[in-house]
Amino acid sequence: LQFGAEFRRFSLDRYKPGKFEDFYKLILHIHHIANLEVMIGYADVHGDLLPINNDDNFFKAVSSAHPLLRVFIQRQDEVDYSNFGTNTLSRKKKALVTLRNDNLRRRPHINISMPHDFRPVSSIIDVDILPETHRRVRLYRHGCEKPLGFYIRDGTSVRVTPHGLEKVPGIFISRMVPGGLAESTGLLAVNDEVLEVNGIEVAGKTLDQVTDMMIANSHNLIITVKPANQRNNIIRSSRMSGSSGQSTDSTASHHSLPTSHVLQNFHPDEMESDEEADIVIE
pLDDT digits (tens, 9 = 90+) for 73-108: 888 877 776 666 655 544 444 444 444 445 555 555
Report the range out of 36-45, 82-91, 219-228 with the highest average pLDDT.
219-228
Give the confidence band of 224 by pLDDT, cuts at 50, 70, 90: very high
pLDDT tens digits, one per residue of 164-185? 899 999 999 999 998 888 888 8
Give residue 111's pLDDT: 61
Mean pLDDT over the full length of the chain: 73
Architecture of the 20-106 domain: Roll (3.10)
The residues near 266 (Cβ < 8 Å, ≥ 6 apart) are: 157, 158
pTM: 0.47
Q: Domain 122-232+242-281 belongs to what architecture?
A: Roll (2.30)
CATH 2.30.42.10 placement within the chain: 122-232+242-281
Predicted local distance difference test score (pLDDT) of residue 245 = 36
> What was the pLDDT predicted at 97?
46
Long-range Cβ contact pairs of 244-247 (< 8 A, separation 24 or more): 244/128, 245/129, 247/125, 247/126, 247/129
Q: Where in the chain is the domain with CATH 3.10.20.90?
A: 20-106
Task: List, as one string, the DSSP characters of 171-221.
Answer: EEEEEE-TTSHHHHHSS--TTPEEEEETTEE-TT--HHHHHHHHHHTTTEE
- pLDDT mean over 218-223: 89
Can you give the pLDDT at residue 242? 41
**CA–CA separation, 107 and 109 (whole Å):** 7
